[in-house]
Amino acid sequence: MSDLVRVTKEQDIAVITIDNPPVNALSPGVPEGIVAAVEQAEKDPSVKASVLIGAGKTFVAGADIKEFVKLTSGTRGDDIGILPLLLKVEDSRKPVVVAIHGNALGGGLEVAQACHYRVATPDAKVGQPEVNLGIIPGAGGTQRLPRLIGVERAIEMCTVGKPVRAAEAAQFGLIDRAIEGDLLAGAVAFAREVAGKPIPKTRERSDKLGTPEQNAPIFAAARDNARKKFRNQICQLAAIDAIEAATKMPFEKGCDEERRLFDKCLYSDQSKAQIHIFFAEREVPKIPDIPKETPTIPVNSIAIVGAGTMGGGIAMVCANAGIPVLLKDTDQTALDRGIGTIQKNYAMSVKRGRFTQEYVDQRMKLIKTTLNYEDFGGADMVIEAVFETMPLKKQVFADLDRVCKKGAIISSNTSTLNIDEIAATTSRPEAVIGMHFFSPANVMRLLEIVRGRKTAKDVIATCMHLSKKLGKVGVLVGNCRGFVGNRMFLPYIREAQFLVEEGAAPEAVDKALTDWGMAMGPLAVGDLGGLDVAYRIRKEYRHLEKPGARQPFVEDRLVEMGRLGQKTAAGWYKYDADRRASSDPEIPALLQKWIEESRIPQRQIPAEEIVDREVYSLVNEGARILEEGYALRAGDIDTIYVNGYGFPAYRGGPMWYADTVGLKKVYERVKQFHQQHGVLWEPAPLLKELAESGKTFANFQRVAAQATD
Ligand code: 3HC
Ligand code: NAI
């Protein structure tokens, strides 16, 4: 028996405990340990049945993902081989009852399916989230799950990857009993009930597999849906193929087919990219000069200044995490408008079934309003979200310095302004930090945490912890213009304008990128946020542009004629009352007129060039940010782009994607663009260096500490 699995006894029931912290993953030794324990129980005449349970916070969260990385990188040669071990568990001559708390995910749920009975705490989560890693269940899940819950539900669980609560799973047969109270005691009692009875084996069932006639339309609709919803991705279709195999082949043959499809997905670039993102997101909280043990400041109440788009969204984020919020604005009308928007957003969530009315009522009780700073004295943290102008921010921070208690964290949601300059207006710059949420704040997972020159380490550690509590992926960035995400986005949206000015239709630019995998095209994104926002930034910072840099002009003209995007129902596109976009027949004529005046030579631009110019503009700026140290790791940049900018996870983020293409190739292309389009395309020194030395962004380690200004 391995140390990872131990057996104890509750009189006539063997209790097999998996103890592989932190999440009881099926690392080498765990499946073998389970089998050895089951065999030991089988041989022990005093044992009638076994209970399989996880130690600590959870049952098994899946196969050990690190082992997959070893396989695909060639550092591990043999197969992970969980499937044959599970057959041994299923073939046990004494019943095995699995007792689930926390999570039973991926391989964890597959272990459970091979056991003879499944009991769980009502709030446990069970799921097949492999698609989030670009793979499919690989330990018999695509074969046993449809046998347990039917084809349609199995497709849903394996293609969407969203776990379900055990209480719900009990209603459709995946869980045999939800146990309130002590799980182990309940599982042992259940095991006694079933001991001595005929042992059910999932793999021998076929009652829920349906007939070919019933299944044909289900598979057709599922494939159709997967192609639309998961554009370009292979794993969802592979999962459907594997489940179809379960309905058409004997179990063993179905497992062979699952294995073939699993390998196809695992060795694909898509899965490598998604696994990279999985680990990159978990690497983000690790900050070299801020150890895990750094003390954090308790944040039990948050005050927000500004009840507009962002302030209101942030209030919802805090309330959803159970933190009381005090929302301030300058007058009652603004406050009422802010609260009205929050109520409308919550009502929409209730309508869509995301929240219950009771949940929303509780959240609304956590949000209080005020017109007075004097009420801020009790707040552990303040998040400022007033208009984006430096004089106003300075005034607000001076006021906050006056009213906030000692030890409170004072943060700004600014998207472009200098955190150090804001902090300098207070007597406590060490308490000041950027908390850059993305719009809509209650939806977008990304939070850039901006480190000022003087920000204290416990303040940073607290914000990093808080981001997780708020359900966000908090990424620590340095204080440069646009921080990381928007600094890279600026050349990206500028390049989109250049492409239009050289002859590409706006629709062609956006379509090339959405076909490639971006959630939205760059011009449609401009319309969504308001073209005037980027316009103001362009004007304000023009003096900082490189001499001789080409300036885009068409979008400025759109703004100057009042076409600001969705808010004016016209920008690059036109919009109906429901903000649905369509091509605007006025645009080609306008473009033609302006472009003729500019004498820029016009040409057909292939989609491939559009994608290269857009994505490599991100990569080139990302390389500068990495070299300058405003991002700690290439994976941090990738995390920012996947969580905040609609970059497809299956391409791994811009830096990972560049590594996948090969930096030499990317560098050659950037040099070519530099020759053709001038100074803005000057290759980043780090890109040149890594390309010429055959290295990657992923392996780039900075020697110096993170840059803060
Ligand atoms: N393998 C290896 N490491 C894992 C892991 C796994 N399956 N799941 C989590 N971890 C590690 C994380 O990398 C992290 O390590 P670190 O502390 O060194 O950074 C640590 O466990 C804690 O993870 P989280 O920070 O994510 O902890 P949370 O408490 O926030 O979340 C969780 C817990 C919901 C279980 C989340 O970790 C999760 O979603 N894990 C992945 C689940 C999954 O995708 N399972 C399927 C795996 S593939 C599979 O099973 C294939 C099979 O079909 C053969
Ligand atoms: P907004 O215009 O919707 O809201 C600003 C609110 O601040 C208004 O309700 C206004 O009445 C209030 N306000 C102004 N002065 C105030 C004061 N002295 N005291 C209290 N309240 C005051 O603006 P939005 O979009 O919410 O932006 C707020 C901040 O968030 C800006 O710094 C912006 O750059 C940043 N941001 C905006 C994003 C967006 O997409 N809208 C995304 C990320 C950050």
Q: What is the pLDDT of residues 628-678, one digit of tens each?
A: 999 999 999 999 999 999 999 999 999 999 999 999 999 999 999 999 999
Given a cut of 90, whether residue 701 has pLDDT beyond it is no
Q: How far is the CA of 345 from the centre of ligand 2 (A)?
A: 18
User: Could you tell me the distance, in angstroms and rounded to a whole number, from the CA of residue 572 to the centre of ligand 2?
Assistant: 25
Active-site annotation holder among 10, 39, 42, 110: 110
- Comparison of pLDDT for 541 and 617, the residue scoring more: 617
- For residue 129, which atom of ligand 1 is closest to its CA? 44
Predicted confidence band at 78 (pLDDT cuts at 50, 70, 90)? confident
- Pair of tokens at residue 203: 């793999």
Centroid of chain to Cα 606: 31
Measured in Å, how far apart are the chain's first and last C-alpha atoms?
A: 54
Atom 44 of ligand 2, residue of closest alpha carbon: 415
- Ligand located closest to 438 CA: 2
Is the model's pLDDT at 475 over the cut of 70?
Answer: yes
pLDDT band at residue 127 using 50, 70 and 90 as cut-offs: very high
Q: Tell me what percent of the chain is helix, strand and coil, each rounded to the nearest 5.
A: 55, 10, 35
What confidence score (pLDDT) does residue 418 get? 96
103 lines ligand 1 (CB under 6 A): yes
Kindly report the protein residue whose alpha carbon is nearest to atom 25 of ligand 1: 282
Percent of the chain with pLDDT over 70: 99
Strand partners for 49: 13
> pTM for the complete prediction?
0.96
Nearest residue (by CA) to ligand 2, atom 12, is 306
Greater model confidence, 473 or 701: 473
What average pLDDT does this structure show over 26-48?
A: 96
Distance from the alpha carbon of residue 307 to the mean position of ligand 2, in angstroms: 7
- Distances in Å between the Cα of 529 and the Cα atoms of 315, 586, 642 are 20, 21, 18
Q: Indicate whether residue 65 lines ligand 1 (CB < 6 A).
A: yes
Contacts of 576 (CB under 8 A, 6+ apart): 569, 582
Ligand 2 pocket mutation, candidates 329, 394, 418, criterion most atoms within 8 A of CB: 329
Is the distance from CB of 450 to CB of 418 less than 8 angstroms?
no
Q: Is the CB of 2 under 6 A from ligand 2?
A: no
Distance 533 CA to ligand 1 centre (A): 39
Decide whether any atom of ligand 2 lies within 6 Å of the 686 Cβ.
no
Q: Report the chain's mean pLDDT, rounded to a whole number.
A: 96
Ligand 2 contact, 309 CB (< 6 A) = yes
Per-residue pLDDT tens over the stretch 575-605: 999 889 999 999 999 999 998 888 899 999 9
Distance from the CA of 462 to the center of ligand 2, in angstroms?
24
Q: What is the pLDDT of residue 575?
A: 97
**Residue 709 confidence class, pLDDT cut points 50, 70, 90:** low
Is residue 102 within 6 Å of ligand 1 at its C-beta? no
Active-site residue 168, yes or no?
A: no
635 close to 280: Cβ distance less than 8 angstroms? yes
Confidence category of residue 25, pLDDT binned at 50, 70, 90: very high
> Ligand 1 pocket, 64 CB below 6 A?
yes
Pairing of strands 177-178, 49-54: unpaired
Which residue has the CA at smallest separation from atom 45 of ligand 1? 62
- Is 692 annotated as catalytic? no
pLDDT in tens, 233-272: 999 999 999 999 999 999 999 999 999 999 999 999 999 9
Distance of CA 412 from the midpoint of ligand 2 (Å) = 10
pLDDT mean over 324-342: 97
Q: Is 510 left (phi over 0), alpha (psi -120 to 50) or beta?
A: alpha
pLDDT of residue 704: 57
Cβ of residue 440 lying under 6 Å from some atom of ligand 2: no
Q: Is the pLDDT of residue 72 over 70?
A: yes
Q: How far is CA 299 from the centre of its chain?
A: 24
Q: Which of 32, 90, 130, 152 is catalytic?
A: 130
Which residue has its alpha carbon closest to ligand 2 atom 29?
385
Q: How confident is the model at residue 536 (pLDDT cuts 50, 70, 90)?
A: confident
pLDDT band of 539, cuts 50, 70, 90 = confident
**Other CB atoms within 10 A of residue 666 CB:** 25
| 706: pLDDT strictly greater than 90 | no
Q: How confident is the model at residue 533 (pLDDT cuts 50, 70, 90)?
A: confident
Of 538 and 22, the structure prediction assigns the larger pLDDT to 22
Nearest protein Cα to ligand 2, atom 10: 306
Tokens 């944040």 found at? 299
Pocket test for ligand 1, best of 4, 23, 109 (most atoms within 8 A of CB): 23
Q: If you average pLDDT over residues 602-627, what whole number do you get? A: 97
Residue nearest to atom 42 of ligand 1 (CA): 61
- 582 three-class SS: strand
Ligand 1 site, residue 106, Cβ cutoff 6 A: yes
The Cβ of residue 692 has, within 10 Å, a number of other Cβ atoms equal to: 11
pLDDT, average across residues 466-481: 97
Average pLDDT over residues 495-507: 97
Report the alpha-carbon distance of residue 445 to residue 643 in Å, rounded: 6
Q: Say whether pLDDT at 362 is over 70.
A: yes
pLDDT at 529: 87
Ligand nearest the Cα of residue 391 is: 2
